[in-house]
Structure 1
């Protein structure tokens, strides 16, 4: 055997021996990149809470958990959310989100939801598990859930709340000895950012002492631009000589969204507003009837009634009191002459 043949035989034997060793000893051949990769780590970088579907008694809270991952793959990751009452300490709702194997680089948001009652505050506890082992946790506090508006009542149109401009203003359109026709002007404001959809305005006129409904009316509040105030008018006829509460309400698809109240005093001898001095005065509704000439209309040339009750045909002069004083003065002068 020559030298070349001997070298080839030795090299073949060495390759066979290496292959047998790799098979016999698992892990003898290892990717050097795997030995340099650090073990996987996952933690919570941040958490957010936002309102979801808001119902009459309950509300959905949408939870966003930002997971930050470094190193190798973390297997079988789950995120558990628990909503616990702040005052009672009782578990209200719990949900678990299955994330799976995490091998992304950087941060990733995992979304979940819990349902809570629309009242009080809550503590949201978020825990991250990997293969059933607790890895990270985060606590977020939520208050003011009762202030969330239900979806069925989500409208930004409401009654105007002004210090001078009246929300409900009443004027007399027509009157006779038995009835009075009233015009109620109601101010509404759109407090939202977009134009509103139609809502319904409903009015009840209740007689003050008996609470009997004397009249009712309904009108449609059309589109109101953002930040604008519109006036809606309704006409009703009621018996004259009584005082009335005007109950006004806004309905969106038969859902009560706002309410207010005004008054109409057609009997000023007995008013229905608080802390007001009551005086016995002569009052007739027809004096306030709106005509072509404004409030009171045309007096027909007869002249207005006087506050002191005297008529236009009263005898001119100084009056009885002045005459009495004159008589006393004359008597004193006659006595001095004597």
Structure 2
């Protein structure tokens, strides 16, 4: 047989066997366009923002929004773990994991976690980005002064003024008696909101500076304060003379304290106080502050004493010594 014919027949046979095998066993031949397993696209944390959510008297909910940057190939099983760590103690307060899923488009995606923490102090917020079970990026942000986030019942646009020209609390002498003085008290409020403020009351408390004894307490209705207006609230108080007092004013709405301020009344001419001054020890008469409906009076205290009297001279002992000395001299003289 011709050699060329044999080679041609063998080649045809190989092609037929390959064709039959490809038909009977799919996938036995590699796809020339197949580049193997697809690598997931890169992801990282682009930015983190923190917002204040609902608050109660004890807790506040922080909204942690994480922006994730994704590029190129699809990335599966992306998740974000958010942790709140107490800034003072370093203890972990709470955590939350957010499943983002699969990212297919180039650009940014967002993941929001809500962390409820005690409404006090500050926190370090850690954000950890995961792809599958692998941590691929992380960042940290801090928040301080969480106690300033107030629940709805503590929020108010009305507060005491804060200026030297218009202090939050002031007083004048209405009547000065021998033992007690009547003061006219004035608290100044301002409404910085867009709506009128209603259901407000002001409590005036006068405390003796050194002892903190409450000498007078009175509450008056503040009425309605229009938007953008400043109004004053007046009251009177009668206190014992010759003492210095702190005047505490407390603004309440429906029984809830929403603001407070302090002033000073110096009725002791020998010493003065101010709201930022430390106290000192002074003589205190507690009966001056008795609330028995009558003025306190003082009566002198008499202490029983015994007086011994003696006649002028040297006394019995001296006389006896003199007598013995005289007898001794007389005896020597006789000798």
TM-superposed deviation, 1:258 = 1.8
TM-superposed deviation, 1:35 = 8.1
- Any conservation in 1 of the 2:201–2:253 contact (CA below 8 Å)? no
Unaligned 5+ runs, structure 1: 1-13, 276-338
- Indicate the residue corresponding to 2:216 in structure 1: 214
Alignment CA distance shift 1:215-1:155 (3 Å) = closer
- Indicate the residue corresponding to 2:203 in structure 1: 203
Query: How far apart, in 1, do the equivalents of 2:20 and 2:72 lie?
Result: 32
Bigger Rg over Cα: 2
How many residues are treated as equivalent by the alignment?
A: 256
Deviations 1:82-114 (CA, angstroms, capped at 9, x unpaired): 222345433221110122222233111110122
TM-superposed deviation, 1:19 = 9.6
Query: How far apart, in 2, do the equivalents of 1:35 and 1:58 lie?
Result: 52
- Indicate the residue corresponding to 1:164 in structure 2: 165
TM-superposed deviation, 1:64 = 0.9
- Any conservation in 1 of the 2:208–2:215 contact (CA below 8 Å)? no
- Any conservation in 1 of the 2:191–2:197 contact (CA below 8 Å)? no
Unaligned 5+ runs, structure 2: 1-14, 278-335
Query: How far apart, in 2, do the equivalents of 1:88 and 1:239 lie?
Result: 46
TM-score normalised according to structure 2 size: 0.60
The alignment yields a C-alpha RMSD, in angstroms, of: 4.2
1:68 equivalenced with 2:60 (yes/no): no
Deviations 1:9-33 (CA, angstroms, capped at 9, x unpaired): xxxxx9xx97973662238696969
- Any conservation in 2 of the 1:157–1:196 contact (CA below 8 Å)? no
Alignment of 1:293-308 (within 5 A): none
Query: How far apart, in 2, do the equivalents of 1:212 and 1:87 lie?
Result: 36
Query: How far apart, in 2, do the equivalents of 1:87 and 1:102 lie?
Result: 37
- Any conservation in 2 of the 1:38–1:71 contact (CA below 8 Å)? no
Alignment of 1:1-338 (within 5 A): 21=22, 24-26=25-27, 39-134=40-135, 136-146=136-146, 148-151=148-151, 152-171=153-172, 183-190=184-191, 194-195=194-195, 197-198=197-198, 200-206=200-206, 208=208, 211-220=213-222, 222-225=224-227, 228=228, 230-236=230-236, 238=238, 245-263=246-264, 273=273
TM-superposed deviation, 1:251 = 2.0
